[in-house]
Structure 1
Amino acid sequence: MKNFKFILVLIFGFLSSSCNLDEEPIFLDATLYNNPQSATAALDGIYEKLTTYDSMERRYWVNNAFSGLFVSHRQGNSINNPHNSSIMALKPIQDQDSESFWRGLYRAIAQTNAAIENIIIVENPTTNNELLFSDIVGQAYFLRAWAYFDLTRLFKDIPLWTELPDQNNLNKAKSTTKEIYAHVISDAKMAASLINGSRGIGYPKQYAANMLLAKLYMTLATNPDLREGSLTAMDYWQMAYDEAIKVYGQYSLVTDYSSIFTDSNENNSESIFELQISQAASNSQMGRNFTPNGYKVAQNFGLLRVHADVFEVHRDTYPNDPRIDATYLYDYTNANNGNRLRTYPAITTRRNLRASHPYFFKFAEKDKMHSNQYNSQNIVVYRYADVLLMLAEISNELQNSQQLGYVTEVLNRVGMTPQVGFLGSQEEFRDAIMKEYRFELIGEGEDAHNNRRRGFDYFLNNTILTHNNNTNPGFKPLVDILLSTDPIGTMTLPIPQSEINTNELIN
């Protein structure tokens, strides 16, 4: 695996050093896509764009901040600091993180467009080169679909670039979310048909595209305004099942849940889509930004905390769940001076912001002696446990009697048995599975969407008011964010000001 990362470092260096501000970006050179070696480098250039600070660190910050589940002491140890009073309170404003994240993903999209436009593929590939070109184009389609799916879920109506800009085509009007979803479906289907595994370990297979399609169909099942023609909610639930079941059995859960979030168990049997990170490439500061303060010897900020009441729901539901220690940190030794550092629930008084919420631990650098601001822990974007929970939710909607089996697979891994909600009515199962996404996947990039996927009323009653009205550990104005109940602002991020200023077709 480390050899694979070293190869990527060399490729990234080649791509970075081969162009400058006075030259046309190298990915716009059509000759780059003529042979297997340079076409492969072009694909890895797309992945490199997805591991930049803007595309990765900013993406996880924005998605988590807008989920209604997190708080931060970034830019001030106060519940009224700029982030807690805006995006984390579900009152988003124009901000640098969202703008940079937007720019980062659109840069990656530009490179997918170049690969799709320039690489020639054949209908029935047979030779090694034909299979390789097909796989590369398929991955470009998948990554474009994934990027647009992520963007439109947050910003709604956005510009849809599927071609390269030129002097006569520098601006793009917004397409509707419905139009974006239709394009994502088309791209994901192309990806599923073209990806054949030729790139090997570290690259997603066609099942990643099936998983994306299932997620999108689940969204359409619960959002009638986005559906096509006469298709019903049940049609989309069935379509979601048909895609998700293609992924079932192609992967397996790893035994140790906590190992998923380390650099010693990368590209494992559970990983479906994983971004390859190398400290030598200096392309990830996730460990610096999301490692709890003082946990390792190098600089670290611990930017994300999980709301105390969100932690309480998890602990009350599964008191002995090993996922708790893998997800939250609240009692540890300072690696620099040996002092004991504690937050809630190790400290129950909740006297200030720093002491009132557990740290989010999944993205932390686990080596306490790590002394670099960059780190090598891969980022798992899609994994198999999510597919199992999706199949459980879908099966509950279809009432096909399979739902309990899928969720049991996920819980068996951590030695837990299904909570009582899974044994009740269809509605009780629905509420239980939406909580289970949090217990298993919190902070991994899907919370903002999962919380909103069933519409504003569900988001209001199951996230916003649950937090604002919580009595255990109890809402405290000085340390808990009061989440907005505005049905408009809570659901959508504003288009970045830089896009408005430079795109003549957006106002």
Structure 2
Amino acid sequence: MMKKINYITWALAASVLFSCQDQLNLQPVSQTVVGEGGAGTAGSAIKDAASAEAALAGTYAIFKNGSAEYYVMDYFILGDGQSDNAYAGADNAAWFEVDEFRILSTNAVAARDWSYLYNHIASANSVIANVPKVTHASLSADRKAQMVGEAKFIRARAYFDLVRIYGDVPLVVDELPTITSDNVEEIYGQLYPARNTAEEVYAQIIKDLEEAAPAVPKTGPNKNTVTPGAVHTLLSKVYATRKDWAKVKENADKVIALGYTLMPNFEDLWDGKHENSAEAIFELNFQDWATGGNWGSSMFYGTDWKKFNTPSNDLIKAFDDEKDAVRKASTIFTANVTGKWSDKYWSLNTFPFAYKMRNTDASQNIIMYRLADVLLLKAEAANETGDLTTARTLVNQIRTRAKLPATTAADQAAMRLAIEKERRLELAFEGQRWYDLTRTARVVPVMEAVKDGAGKSLNYKLTDTRLFWPVPQGEIDKNANLKQNNGY
């Protein structure tokens, strides 16, 4: 009882502090930042079209500002550096823990990414909860529906990452009222939620996306707008993770029907001259430092200091074995860094860097979803449902752009591996590889087989209990209802 009283006392005090101290990461995951002076919820300022649009713009801006460290950096190290595509690189001990599968519950990256994703969810929740309440004539019913749909996509996208990173996580879909002495007992469980099962989280993700699909804008000023293409792409990814192949195909077909086309040259996607291209489905747009510039490029590319996501010997061997010179040239850059740093994996005179984000002046866009990804998901769905012909056609469509011969895969098992390889080479350093390996249950054997440049095993010790990150210890310390993942 005393512990509960202490939580209540903290919650009441924190309700006043959140508005000016949200950067201290004190709030539980269920709590949004309160309004001025602690009066009202974050969404209470949403009263008309202007304030509603500002709130939604703020939710989009979290990709570039409030949670930028996740979206421009951690997302890519988690998806590639944790896999066989890259070594952690740089000199950050927390990322070495991730790279070598010895992560602790006190890991700083695990703690911050949990907070960043819930921060994004809280912002989306505010839009979802409050925009429908606006009665001002300046905001039409159609626009309200669009805005809620856009926020539901953003919320679903964040939960999709959370459930894949941490497993069971608290499912928070409501904005809390202002905390007072009268209601704190009533909302105590919402302030300190337990973890929902992954099945419950996936059900909410799918519900959000199915509701968003018919509501979101059909187009936008650029690809940084949530449109039906983005929603159905995410649904394809979610259903692939759930192995519902009919739904993967259904949603992939909806994306394809919207008219996206592959860029003629693979390099067009990364040269900075074709942003918001015909292939891009959802793209984070960056302009300059003043508007939330993309500093992530400098984390991966450049010779001023040792960068993150150093391409692995295994990945470069995969490109070379496939004779995939086209995609390798756009994906990996080498430079002589002799005298600048040491490295246990690479010779310093031809040191590799991830190259898809190469513009370091803050204006580098990030392509989060593109058509090639969707075509390969459809190929996977076709193969898993016995349609080898369609799978082969789609894989060859991707290979043709890379100036590679047709796949030789002649049966379902061979095609499964061919698609896995194609996704690796096509999507390297786009934050996909780790999730592809985990959802296909291939991650343990693949990671155990990884070798260094001399052909020696790296002896990764990966077990099923290490496929999810630990729940951050700081979150458990704040919330007695949270339980830790097995193995931590």
Q: How does 1:231-250 map to 2 (within 5 A)?
A: 236-250=244-258
Name the CA shift for 1:220/1:30 in 2 (closer, same or farther; >3 Å). closer
Partner in structure 2 of residue 384 of structure 1: 371
Give the aligned length.
431
Partner in structure 1 of residue 57 of structure 2: 44
SS at match of 1:386: helix
1:99 pairs, out of 111, 114, 117, with 111
Partner in structure 1 of residue 455 of structure 2: 475
Counterparts of 1:488 and 1:91 in 2: how far apart (Å)?
11
Tell me the TM-score normalised to structure 2 length: 0.81
Partner in structure 2 of residue 14 of structure 1: none
Counterparts of 1:266 and 1:252 in 2: how far apart (Å)?
14
* 1:304 is the counterpart of 2:309: yes
Q: Which runs of 5+ in 1 are unaligned?
A: 1-18, 222-235, 295-299, 345-349
Partner in structure 2 of residue 108 of structure 1: 120
Partner in structure 1 of residue 328 of structure 2: 324
Partner in structure 1 of residue 82 of structure 2: 66
Counterparts of 2:164 and 2:349 in 1: how far apart (Å)?
33
* CA displacement at 1:357 relative to structure 2: 6.2
Tell me the TM-score normalised to structure 1 length: 0.78
User: Which amino acid is the alignment partner of residue 72 of structure 1?
Assistant: A
* CA displacement at 1:133 relative to structure 2: 2.0
Sequence identity percentage? 25
Residue deviations 1:378-420 (CA, integer Å, cap 9, x gap): 1111111100111111111112331112112212222222332
Name the CA shift for 1:416/1:496 in 2 (closer, same or farther; >3 Å). same
Maintained 8 Å contact 1:135/1:195: yes
Partner in structure 2 of residue 451 of structure 1: 437
Residue deviations 1:347-384 (CA, integer Å, cap 9, x gap): xxx7757568622111222xxxx6x5xx1111111111
Partner in structure 2 of residue 135 of structure 1: 146
SS at match of 2:140: helix
SS at match of 2:264: coil
Counterparts of 2:76 and 2:350 in 1: how far apart (Å)?
22
* CA displacement at 1:121 relative to structure 2: 8.3
Moved over 6 A (4+): 339-344
SS at match of 2:282: strand
Maintained 8 Å contact 1:331/1:343: no
Q: How does 1:395-414 map to 2 (within 5 A)?
A: 395-400=382-387, 401-414=389-402
Maintained 8 Å contact 1:160/1:174: yes
Partner in structure 1 of residue 182 of structure 2: none
Q: How does 1:8-407 map to 2 (within 5 A)?
A: 20-21=20-21, 24-25=34-35, 28-30=41-43, 32-52=45-65, 53-56=68-71, 57-75=73-91, 83-84=95-96, 86-93=97-104, 94-120=106-132, 129-166=140-177, 167=179, 168=187, 169-197=190-218, 199-201=220-222, 202-221=224-243, 236-250=244-258, 251-279=260-288, 280-294=290-304, 301-317=306-322, 319-331=323-335, 358-365=352-359, 375-400=362-387, 401-407=389-395
* CA displacement at 1:301 relative to structure 2: 4.3
* CA displacement at 1:34 relative to structure 2: 3.2
Maintained 8 Å contact 1:197/1:205: yes
User: Which amino acid is the alignment partner of residue 282 of structure 2?
Assistant: F
User: Which amino acid is the alignment partner of residue 196 of structure 2?
Assistant: S
Maintained 8 Å contact 1:396/1:403: yes
SS at match of 2:172: coil
* CA displacement at 1:64 relative to structure 2: 2.6
Maintained 8 Å contact 1:261/1:377: no
* CA displacement at 1:485 relative to structure 2: 3.2
* CA displacement at 1:435 relative to structure 2: 0.9
Counterparts of 2:293 and 2:110 in 1: how far apart (Å)?
19
Partner in structure 2 of residue 425 of structure 1: 411
Counterparts of 2:234 and 2:339 in 1: how far apart (Å)?
43
Maintained 8 Å contact 1:329/1:361: yes
SS at match of 2:368: strand
Name the CA shift for 1:379/1:343 in 2 (closer, same or farther; >3 Å). farther
Counterparts of 2:60 and 2:345 in 1: how far apart (Å)?
43
Counterparts of 1:503 and 1:163 in 2: how far apart (Å)?
18
Maintained 8 Å contact 1:121/1:130: no
* CA displacement at 1:55 relative to structure 2: 2.9
Residue deviations 1:80-108 (CA, integer Å, cap 9, x gap): x6633x21122322321221111111111
